[in-house]
């Protein structure tokens, strides 16, 4: 009976796995309950078989049955077992002997994009197809999708997936069930927009993605001036279909229009399209085009608060990533942010604009957090506000809080590789190496070209365990992600270059960064990296012409932006290469004074690490060790760890120093609470 039960249970589990999980997509707990029930039934069956017998007259106690009947019953059970075993044998053979995908033991782990728990009141608004004859109207279709998303984001009772994640899908993907699982939502809105002159046709359909079942579909033929009504009607129908509970404020938000001027709205949508290009490329030109379009929209409607708010965000992002605004220009942007908030105090985007200004424009972190928190209250599904809040907390050194917020963002924006890569980077900074690897691989699964994702996985291998071989395998798996980065410390070089430096293959490292780069900022970084590698290789005499050229470019840039710490640190290495030690140290100290740790817990320690490198290379071992001792107690595992100190050739000049050796024998901070 024990053998018969085991064989029958195994067959039942295999069949249930095929039917319930593979075909009917039942949740995993169903199989867990089945296995638990079968396990509990095993001892019960054995006790029953010991105490009772099945006879032609029914079930009787064993002591009341003749031995001949017991033997007959036993033979029947054996026969049943043989039949069950015959049925199980082919399935067992298939499971054991079937061909497996070929794997290479030397390949690093690849992580697939995980499936998420499905939220019943969750929705993703997929990109709307542009059916207009004029393909340049793609911006308009994007704008309709955005406005519907914005309205839905106000509803706290819903889970609304961010646009960043939905843009990774086509307007009408074939496999909606997979989209549902990857985003963790039950419902999907598909749509298309067709525009001709002042006429607009919008087609939408709401789908239960789990069963690929249409809940409703509708077509709206309106004049351009009535497009706001279409967006409101669609949002209201979605809220009703998902049985979302609406507060009076949320209900009012579904019917509001950002402007009554259709031409101003059209200019605004064009500006939004350019702003998305700017965010993707981080180039000045699309930022400038976006700002011009926002300004044209405001010229038509000075009370267009949303356009004013978005113009503020565009200008301060350009200030942060591209080129500094003057004090007078920043004051002008602040005035515009205040104006937007005065026009629309309940507009989440106006609070985001002011919070972004406080963060990027003036590093006033507390004021920034206050505005961003208000934005989240007004729009609970607004990922931008929550993500920016996480990055502010990171600058403040509140790493645990930042990680919590970034993780929450991931539930609303699960297909955003940059967000996931930042989560990985936070783990790496905290020296939580395995968590960093997992998150970094998740970012690479979303985008194999994720530079930060690749950097994190490689640094977690090198700085966590000093595992050069694992780092090499990871780089081989994701070769396209290793582009040039801004140079601040040696580890800021592209991963392919840095790995060659760690392996002390300096000639190969130089070859990897010998090609001129069109972008002037990246080209200056490339030349600074090459100068540092020449220093490590001990062959600066052969590269003085190149070093002199780099000096000229960097000094010219410093005249334009005297407060740029990266340029100062690059000049520090140029002076190390020219054996101008005093100048090198002066530039390094200036950089750390501009961005002290107290002001920026993310970049401040990084600049200290670069200063320590320059101190180690300019005959100041005691100062270098003092700086490193402080860094080992900070969350800067991305660049400094005990393993990194052991293997990076940048520390060779102080490697035999007793104080440095004492550092290598010590411990470093691990995790957010240490």
What CATH code is carried by the domain that includes residue 326?
1.25.40.10
Indicate if 291 and 358 belong to the same structural domain: yes
Distance CA 417, CA 315 (A): 25
User: Does 509 fall in a domain?
Assistant: no
Cβ neighbors of 157 (< 8 A, separation 6 or more) are 121, 244, 245, 246
Query: What three-state secondary structure class fits 221?
Result: strand
- Span 562-584, average pLDDT: 95
Indicate if 42 and 144 belong to the same structural domain: no
User: Does 167 fall in a domain?
Assistant: yes
Q: How confident is the model at residue 398 (pLDDT cuts 50, 70, 90)?
A: very high
pLDDT, mean over the chain: 89
Percentage of residues in the chain having pLDDT higher than 90: 72
| Four-residue CA torsion sign, 392, 397, 399, 404 | negative
Q: What are the angstrom distances between the C-alpha of 381 and each of 20, 115, 161? A: 34, 20, 8
User: Does 559 fall in a domain?
Assistant: yes
Percentage of residues in the chain having pLDDT higher than 70: 86
The mean-pLDDT minimum among 54-68, 124-138, 236-250, 251-265 falls in 54-68
Indicate if 276 and 410 belong to the same structural domain: yes
Residue 484 has pLDDT above 60, yes or no: no
Q: How confident is the model at residue 36 (pLDDT cuts 50, 70, 90)?
A: confident
**Torsions phi, psi for 175 (to 5 deg):** -100, 85
Helix (H) or strand (E) holding 455: helix 451-465
Report pLDDT for 487: 59
The DSSP annotation for 358-415 comes to: IIIIH--HHHHHHHHHHHHHH-TT-HHHHHHHHHHHHHTT-HHHHHHHHHHHHHH-TT
Indicate if 408 and 445 belong to the same structural domain: no
Q: How confident is the model at residue 18 (pLDDT cuts 50, 70, 90)?
A: low
**Which CATH number belongs to the domain containing residue 459 in this structure?**
1.25.40
**Torsions phi, psi for 124 (to 5 deg):** -120, 130
Helix (H) or strand (E) holding 121: strand 119-125
pLDDT tens string 532-552: 999 999 999 999 999 999 999
- Identify which has the larger pLDDT, 407 or 40: 407
Q: How confident is the model at residue 267 (pLDDT cuts 50, 70, 90)?
A: very high
Indicate if 365 and 318 belong to the same structural domain: yes
pLDDT tens string 49-102: 777 676 666 666 766 666 655 666 666 677 776 766 676 666 555 444 444 334
Both structure tokens of 150? 């914005």
Domain, as residue range, for 618? 539-664
Where residue 293 falls (left for φ over 0; alpha for ψ -120 to 50; beta otherwise) is alpha
The pTM for the full model equals 0.82
User: Does 43 fall in a domain?
Assistant: yes
Alpha-helical regions (H) of 56-124:
67-97
Both structure tokens of 260? 């009554």
Distance CA 624, CA 645 (A): 12
Distance CA 203, CA 218 (A): 6
Distance CA 668, CA 640 (A): 10
Q: How confident is the model at residue 20 (pLDDT cuts 50, 70, 90)?
A: low
pLDDT tens string 443-459: 999 999 899 999 999 99
- Identify which has the larger pLDDT, 272 or 76: 272
Indicate if 285 and 357 belong to the same structural domain: yes
- Span 192-208, average pLDDT: 94
> Which among 498, 524, 532, 525 has a CA at the least distance from the CA of 512?
498
- Span 259-278, average pLDDT: 96
Tokens 């109207």 correspond to 137
User: Does 389 fall in a domain?
Assistant: yes
Report pLDDT for 22: 43
Domain count, the chain: 5
Distance CA 52, CA 29 (A): 34
Beta bridge partners of 122: 159
Q: What are the angstrom distances between the C-alpha of 394 and each of 320, 391, 423? A: 17, 5, 11
Both structure tokens of 590? 């200036």
Indicate if 304 and 340 belong to the same structural domain: yes
Tokens 């009703």 correspond to 240
């Amino acid at each position: 009976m024990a053998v018969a039960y085991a064989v029958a249970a195994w067959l039942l589990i295999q069949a249930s796995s095929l039917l319930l999980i593979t075909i009917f997509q039942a949740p995993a707990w169903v199989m867990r309950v089945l296995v638990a029930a079968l396990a509990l039934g095993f001892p019960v069956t054995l006790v029953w078989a010991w105490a009772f017998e099945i006879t032609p007259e029914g079930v009787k106690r064993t002591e009341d049955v003749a031995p001949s009947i017991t033997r007959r019953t036993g033979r029947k059970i054996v026969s049943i077992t043989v039949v069950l075993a015959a049925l199980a044998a082919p399935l067992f053979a298939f499971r054991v002997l079937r061909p497996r995908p070929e794997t290479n033991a030397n390949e690093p782990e690849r992580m697939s994009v995980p499936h998420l728990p499905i939220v019943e009141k969750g929705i993703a608004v997929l990109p709307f197809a542009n059916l207009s004859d004029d393909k340049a109207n793609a911006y308009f279709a994007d704008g309709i999708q955005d406005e519907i998303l914005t309205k839905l984001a106000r509803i706290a009772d819903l889970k609304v997936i961010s646009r960043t994640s939905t843009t990774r899908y086509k307007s009408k993907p074939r496999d909606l069930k997979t989209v549902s699982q990857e985003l963790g939502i039950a419902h999907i809105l598909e749509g298309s927009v067709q525009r001709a002159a002042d006429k607009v046709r919008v087609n939408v359909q709401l789908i239960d993605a789990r069963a690929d079942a249409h809940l409703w579909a509708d077509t709206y033929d309106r004049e351009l001036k009535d497009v706001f009504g279409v967006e409101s009607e669609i949002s209201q129908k979605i809220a009703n279909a998902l049985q979302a509970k609406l507060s009076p404020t949320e209900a009012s938000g579904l019917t509001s229009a950002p402007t009554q001027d259709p031409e101003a709205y059209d200019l605004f949508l064009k500006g939004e399209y350019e702003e998305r290009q700017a965010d993707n490329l981080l180039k000045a030109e699309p930022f400038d085009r976006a700002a011009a379009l926002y300004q044209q929209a405001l010229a038509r409607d000075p009370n267009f608060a949303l356009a004013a708010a978005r113009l503020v965000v565009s200008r301060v992002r350009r200030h942060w990533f591209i080129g500094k605004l003057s004090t007078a220009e920043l004051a002008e942007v602040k005035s515009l942010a205040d104006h937007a908030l005065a026009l629309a105090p309940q507009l989440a985007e106006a609070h985001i604009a002011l919070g972004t200004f406080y963060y990027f424009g003036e590093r006033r972190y507390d004021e920034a957090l206050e505005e961003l928190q208000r934005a989240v209250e007004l729009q609970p599904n607004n990922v931008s506000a929550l993500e920016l809040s996480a990055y502010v907390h990171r600058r403040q050194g509140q790493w645990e809080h930042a990680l919590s917020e970034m993780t929450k963002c991931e539930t609303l924006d699960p297909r955003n590789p940059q967000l996931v890569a930042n989560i990985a980077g936070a783990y790496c900074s905290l020296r939580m190496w395995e968590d960093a690897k997992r998150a970094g691989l998740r970012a690479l699964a979303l985008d194999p070209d994720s530079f930060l994702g690749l950097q994190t996985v490689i640094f977690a291998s090198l700085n966590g365990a000093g595992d050069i071989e694992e780092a090499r395998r990871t780089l081989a798996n994701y070769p396209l992600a290793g582009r040039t980065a801004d140079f601040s410390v040696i580890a800021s070089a592209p991963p392919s270059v840095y790995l060659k430096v760690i392996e002390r293959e300096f000639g190969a490292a130089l070859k990897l960064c010998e090609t001129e780069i069109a972008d002037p900022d990246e080209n200056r970084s490339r030349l600074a990296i090459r100068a540092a590698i020449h220093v490590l290789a001990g062959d600066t005499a052969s590269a003085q012409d190149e070093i002199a050229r780099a000096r000229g470019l960097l000094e010219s840039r410093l005249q334009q932006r005297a407060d740029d710490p990266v340029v100062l640190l690059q000049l520090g290495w140029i002076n190390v290469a020219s054996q101008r030690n005093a100048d090198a140290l002066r530039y390094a100290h200036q950089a750390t004074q501009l961005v002290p740790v107290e002001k920026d817990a993310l970049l401040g320690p990084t600049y200290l690490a670069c200063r320590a490198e320059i101190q180690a290379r300019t005959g100041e071992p005691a100062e270098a060790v003092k700086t490193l001792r402080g860094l080992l107690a900070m969350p800067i595992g991305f660049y400094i760890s005990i393993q990194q100190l052991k293997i990076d050739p940048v520390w060779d000049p102080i490697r035999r120093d007793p104080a440095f050796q004492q550092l290598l024998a010590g411990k470093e901070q691990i995790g957010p609470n240490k």
